[in-house]
A and B are shown apart, each in its own frame.
Chain A
Amino acid sequence: MSRIDVRKTYKLYIGGQFPRSESGRSYVVNDAKGRLLANAAQASRKDARDAVLAARAAFGGWSGKTAYNRAQVVYRIAEVLEGRREQFEAELRASEGVSPAKARTYVDAAIDRLVWYAGWADKITQVVGNANPVAGPFFNLSSPEPSGVIAVVAPRGPLLGLVSVVAPLIITGNTVVVIASEDHPLTAITLGEVMATSDLPGGVVNVLTGSVAEIAPWLASHMDVNGIDLTGVTDADLAVELEVAAADNLKRVRRPAPGTDWLAEPDLDRMTRFLETKTVWHPIGV
């Protein structure tokens, strides 16, 4: 008799822990052929709020780390992901029905993207900040700082898409609440396991699975969220509704980006959209 395998329970990833949804709900996730893959947790408004609390609590520590340290942590995520690449390739093949070669391409690209962003941690300040030659005896310097807690609606690409939207936010010191692709949520939770074992402090990335239409409005209107990335929102009306809600506390908004080629090398905008510029003045004298 063949061995019965031990299946994984997919839960949420909040504050470094893997809780079930407080609502006790789950939803069925099928593979590309319509067969049951697993039940995913269906996050509620309360889960979203808990995730924001966790992200806020993590923000001071994470944004206060040295850029070198953040670089090493994100690089470490790439290392751990590399070590578990076969699991991710298998998950991508199962959930999206892609060929083994394609799955390999996506995993390669996701790892490489993490490495690419890891290197930005201690360079972005030099590229987007500068000294300002004011007409007077003053030292004057502008440097970027993270906006704070950013809510993200991840695009469909369950691994590469997710990594491509989360990595640029955390590398600059933001903390994140991300709603995973509704149809392909499982890989996001597995990626949570990678992050949880990569020295990434709990709460820096929080992953919710469930209905975008249900959860995203709570994040868009949450007064302790500083920005919202609508990249993965496919419903144009919902995108407008979320942008309107985001205005309540003037969240920084990134509008939806349908048809993005995630294999292409990104530019700086995914980092700079959620950076503030701080300018410090001091008199020069003796």
Chain B
Amino acid sequence: MTDNTFEYAPAPESRAIVDIKPSYGLFINGEFVDGNGRAFKTINPATEEVLAEVAEADDADVDAAVRAARRAYTRVWSRMSGAERAKYLYRIARIIQERGRELAVLESIDNGKPIKESRDVDVPIVAAHFFYYAGWADKLQYSGYGSTPLGVAGQVIPWNFPLLMLAWKIAPALACGNTVVLKPAETTPLTALLFAEICQQADLPPGVVNIVTGAGETGRAIVSHPDVDKVAFTGSTEVGKAIARAVAGSDKKVTLELGGKAANIVFDDAPLDQAVEGIVNGIFFNQGHVCCAGSRLLVQESVAEEVMSRLKRRMATLRVGDPLDKNTDVGAINSAEQLSKIRELSEVGESEGAERWSAPCDLPSNGYWFAPTVFTGVSQAHRIAREEIFGPVLSVLTFRTPSEAVEKANNTPFGLSAGVWTDKGSRILSMANRLRAGVVWANTFNKFDPTSPFGGYKESGYGREGGRHGLEGYLKNTEKGANS
């Protein structure tokens, strides 16, 4: 027997299925056009290889996109029956399924996430999301939110789930009769541009979906454009606040899905092996680049040692490496910038006195990597217990009573998600009631579904995406002062 008895042979997914062009323009009014601005490079974070050059939309490009969206809204999309809109969305859902492998490979290349995740989680939920909202398009009168669209939606999405966030934004917007201008994140534009091609294949009327690539300036131009009726943003709390300030006094309707610092609470009667799987899934899924990640483990004192030893044993089996390898559990950190943030906060964790342990694993020499890491001896005052790290770094705190767990869990400006692990049903329901978070996962974690509303309390933002509730942000409330 050797040490590597349980090592897996490499099982890379083929890249041949994707065709990455050397450069990409903007998708405006149904066509790819050259932007006025400069171009920027998107790279593969697992290798640092440059994948393509992408246009950076300037104010004039954004204006052209908004005008195209307005034209499509006025002339076509708002006049079309819900039943017809639905058929376009169903078409899109079907094409996403047909081209699912291609989308998954491209997502893993551009983002760094493991192929088993993009293939088994992201892309299937993307297709399901379009399928779900397609069905709403001709049933809005039963939604409880009326059936009047807002107009043009400006949407800005992050790099952690590029295609999934696109689906969360575009599917409900279109189902409700709005047209969109969407900006993917600057480090992960490629699947959004492939989605633009899917819109062409679906014969979606020009201008209904416009994709403009770029960074913060492009996003600002969309958010502050006077002819945008709706702003939907997923990203950092800092940018979310800037958006809330920027739209003050306007008639724009806003939904914000921002940061989190979720508590994942493990009681002493929890099934510990399942809980450990949940902890691992909670913080190492998608390299911890998850706004609802279970980044604070609250473990009952009596089982803390047991949980930690099982957790470390499990972490040591995580396979970190090539995102395209079908056996990879943890992929690449999305960018050099994000890697340096994770490193910086981890160093702060050590200097503030918490004890750091990282899973022993060989990291590739090129690309951006961070080994799954856990901090013990963390106090509520530590920055690693308060700030969103957005990486594979878990902070562990302990508690004695349910009330102490609630107190610690809610002691954060965020309120996006929380987890509870216990075998006692009444305790689950009591904890679920007392945790101030928009999603509570009990004896599970990081579950997503098109029918299930997602969104936060407090500084994790406002509005919901997904489910019936997700329609509200894209329909007009006619009451006075109701922020449309």
Contact = CB atoms under 8 A, between A and B. Distances in A.
A255 B244 contact: no
Interface in A266-285: 266-267, 269, 273, 276-283
Interface string A76-118: 0000000000000000000000000000000000000000000
Contacts of A154: none
Given A250-B244, A257-B481, A281 B453 contact: no
Nearest to B457: A276
A134 B449 contact: yes
Greatest chain B CB density within 10 A among A127, A259, A269 is at A269
Contact of A249 (B413, B428, B442, B479): B413
B241 interface: yes
A264 B226 CA distance: 32
B358 interface: no
B454 interface: yes
**Contact-residue size bin, chain B (C-beta under 8 Å from the other chain):** 35 or more
A135 B128 contact: yes
A257 B478 CA distance: 12
B128 A247 contact: no
A254 interface: yes
A282 B442 CA distance: 5
Contacts of A278: 432, 437-440, 457
A132 B453 contact: yes
A266 B144 CA distance: 15
B135 to A, nearest CB: 12
B483 A267 contact: no
B444 A259 contact: no
Contacts of B451: 132-135, 140
A159 to B, nearest CB: 19
Contacts of B75: none
A128 B144 contact: yes
Given A276-B438, A281-B442, A283-B444, A239 B249 contact: yes
A256 B251 CA distance: 11
A258 B468 CA distance: 31
A280 B438 contact: no
Main DSSP-derived SS at the A contact region: mixed
B67 interface: no
Greatest chain B CB density within 10 A among A226, A239, A247 is at A247
B21 interface: no
Interface in A199-248: 226, 230-231, 236, 239-240, 243-244, 246-248
B481 A279 contact: no
Interface string B439-479: 11111100101011111011101101001110000000101
Given A135-B128, A250-B258, A281 B248 contact: no
Contacts of B443: 282-283
B240 interface: yes
**Contact-residue size bin, chain A (C-beta under 8 Å from the other chain):** 35 or more
B245 A244 contact: yes
Contacts, number: 122
B320 interface: no
B9 interface: no
A135 B449 contact: yes
B249 A279 contact: no
A53 to B, nearest CB: 18
A250 B482 contact: no
A130 B469 CA distance: 9
Greatest chain B CB density within 10 A among A249, A256, A269, A278 is at A278
A60 to B, nearest CB: 9
B142 to A, nearest CB: 12
A260 interface: yes
Given A132-B452, A279-B453, A243 B249 contact: yes
A236 B442 contact: no
B438 A279 contact: yes
A142 interface: yes
A279 B469 CA distance: 11
B226 to A, nearest CB: 15
Contact of A281 (B241, B444, B467): B444
Interface string A126-161: 011010111110101010000100000000000000
B439 A279 contact: yes
A248 B237 CA distance: 10
Contact of B449 (A127, A132, A276): A132
B43 interface: no
Nearest to A237: B249
A252 B438 CA distance: 14
Contacts of A244: 245, 248
A85 B481 CA distance: 30
B424 interface: no
Contacts of B462: 250, 252
Nearest to B461: A250
Contacts of B461: 250
A134 B444 CA distance: 14
B55 interface: no
Given A132-B467, A243-B248, A281 B458 contact: no
Contact of A279 (B242, B454, B458, B482): B454
Contact of B459 (A132, A133, A239, A250): A250
B444 A282 contact: yes
B109 interface: no
A259 B453 contact: no
Contact of B440 (A249, A280, A283): A280
A280 to B, nearest CB: 5
A180 interface: no
A253 interface: yes
B280 to A, nearest CB: 17
Contacts of A147: 457
Greatest chain A CB density within 10 A among B452, B453, B462 is at B452
B276 to A, nearest CB: 16
Ranked nearest first, the 10 interchain pairs of A and B with the lowest CB-CB distance are A257-B481, A240-B249, A247-B244, A243-B248, A134-B449, A257-B480, A132-B451, A282-B442, A247-B245, A132-B452
24 contacts: A127-B144, A132-B467, A138-B444, A142-B467, A147-B457, A240-B248, A249-B413, A250-B241, A250-B244, A250-B462, A253-B483, A254-B481, A266-B479, A269-B482, A278-B437, A278-B440, A279-B439, A279-B440, A279-B452, A279-B453, A279-B467, A280-B432, A280-B442, A282-B442
Given A255-B482, A269-B479, A273-B483, 11 more contacts: A132-B449, A135-B449, A138-B447, A142-B467, A147-B457, A243-B244, A257-B481, A273-B482, A276-B457, A277-B438, A279-B454
